[in-house]
Chain A
Amino acid sequence: MTALAPQHDRGNGSLGARSNRSHRFGEISFHALLLLCTGVGLIVLAILLVTVSRRGAPQLSVDFLDRFPSRRPAQAGVKAALFGSIWLIGLTLAISVPVSVGAAIYLEEIAPRNWFTRVIEVNIANLAGVPSIIYGILALGVVARGLGLGFSLWTGAIALSLLSFPVIVIAARESIRAVPSSIRQGAFALGATRWQTIRRAVLPSSMGGIVTGCILAMSRALGEAAPLLLLGALVFSASVPNDPSDRYTALPLQIFNWINRPQSGFQINAAAGSMVLLGILLTVNAVAIVLRGRGRRTW
């Protein structure tokens, strides 16, 4: 960019027809270049979706969702992994949503402006950048061994909850902050206490953003594999977990397991499993986008 620039440095005043045309050409080609940059990512995304679907389609069926893993690729399915993921996400939601939203309320509505609050804020910002595999190491050391929960659904869900925590806090804070102070003052003027104001006025007004944040965090947790790898979730499991203290496997790990097998049948399964996972994620994200559109208020 810089190397080309001096040609145009003489300004437009003395431009003849020719340089005017080259100027226009520069503008158009730059515009095209930017469009191309934006497009490349989307084109690769499209190629990814098409190749995965084309490869996985022959194996994808209702049966595939209802079969347990098998040594024979054609008879293998994702049932154990699907139920494992559903359990995992349910527990993760139950743990992380109340705690994260509570932390967001504390920081926006209650916390005094002091050093302790600043420490919490800086901390959350840093937690958001910690690689997910580190959360796996954390849960391995503290939850699986320290608390003695072993490689159960609890351990996996706690790891994913801690991973989701900063994501939900950041989204919820933004949404709470967008509620104008006149809403709070109105509630206070009617004699509401601080908690009543939060509960009856602030939270309902910011619900759209909070729910969107939770859904996005869940969709991230659903696709997450690295921490679970350390937590023993890569097991051959021919049953559905019944209890949070059971062992489990999850969709991304089932896919990883199939990718690592040499037989081409398992590669097809990996593609079909990816389609299931992508399908769930796209649905969840579409719901989030609709909710975001509906929940958006202009004050």
Chain B
Amino acid sequence: MHDLRRRRRPGETAIEGLLLLCGAVSIATTAAIVWVLVSNGLSFFADFSAVDFLTGTVWQPKGSPQLFGVLPLLAGTLLVAGIALVVAVPLGLGAATYLSEYARPGVRRVLKPLLEILAGVPTVVYGYFALRTVTPLLQRVLGDESVDVFNALSAGLVMGIMIIPTVASLSEDAMRSVPEALREGAFGLGSGRRRVATRVVIPSALSGIAASVILGISRAVGETMIVAVAAGSTPNLTIDVRESIQTMTGYIAQVSLGDSQQGTVDYQSIFAVGLTLFVMTLLLNLLSQRFVRRFRQVYQ
């Protein structure tokens, strides 16, 4: 008999080739990101030593001597991300526990999309809120002189609110995939709901929770507008959250606004900072994906 499967269909082949190309766009994008960052980064490192970049404690691209020690920017990034996590991890985890273990289906259907709105508010609006509402509030509570107009604390607090849904939704996924039998076992031994949640569900969902926290860190590290508006532009190696600081993303934003000429060392520095940022978030994302795969493997 005539085998229909062997019949050549040029139209079909062409369409499938086109769809393959669409998929390949992802590879081209990644390759282009790496190429832009590495080639421009290398031209920066030809002018300024990579070792000094990674270990230097002074970042003064406009000063003389020009110094590009990335540690102050890194410290600023981690400081803001740290504050954001202090807000987002307990609140996100609490919300996830509530949605997964306590809320009735109807309540959950309403609360979940409402919580998701937090991730949908434009970050520039969050920045405005941090600078014009949260900072004045902090100044009133902690004292006008002690809190700078631009400070790490208000940017970090608002960023924490922004990443609550990131932490909550992945953690909730993990908690819901904990088998019902484990809960029933614990209830059968006389545990209340709280102990089932804290002693059975949360420990069993730990890898998913870890994944959500790491993803939250990655979001916080890569966020630009909130810090560009509210955290300041003072590369500052400090752990005082009331001071003006600068993050890696904030620096890139500042250079793009400034009058640096293309091709100069201080303009090229955004590629070196971008490369550092890209490598950091990539490692965090890969780590997070590993944890996700683990909880999927265990329970699904």
Contacts and interface: CB of A to CB of B under 8 A. Distances in A.
B128 A134 contact: no
A189 interface: no
Interface residues of B, number: 90
B257 A234 contact: yes
A102 interface: yes
A100 B281 CA distance: 23
Contacts of A169: 26
Nearest to B225: A225
A278 interface: yes
Contacts of B98: 34-35, 37-38
**Interface of chain A, helix or strand or loop or mixed?**
helix
Contacts of B281: 129-131
B78 interface: no
Contacts of B36: 137-138, 140-142
B27 A44 contact: no
A125 interface: yes
A120 B121 CA distance: 30
A27 B253 contact: no
A23 B228 CA distance: 48
Nearest to A194: B12
B229 interface: yes
A124 interface: yes
B26 A38 contact: no
B105 interface: no
A41 B115 contact: yes
Nearest to A47: B133
A129 B24 CA distance: 18
Give the top 8 A-B pairs by smallest Cβ distance, nearest first: A37-B94, A131-B222, A223-B122, A102-B22, A141-B36, A129-B285, A226-B224, A34-B98
Interface of B: 9, 11-12, 15-16, 18-27, 29-30, 32-33, 35-37, 40, 90-95, 97-99, 102, 111, 113-115, 117-118, 120-129, 131-133, 161, 164-165, 189-190, 192-195, 197-199, 215, 218, 221-225, 228-229, 249, 252-253, 256-257, 270-271, 274, 277-278, 281-282, 284-286, 288-289
16 contacts: A34-B97, A37-B92, A37-B95, A37-B97, A42-B114, A51-B133, A102-B22, A127-B30, A129-B282, A135-B33, A226-B123, A229-B253, A230-B252, A255-B124, A259-B127, A271-B128
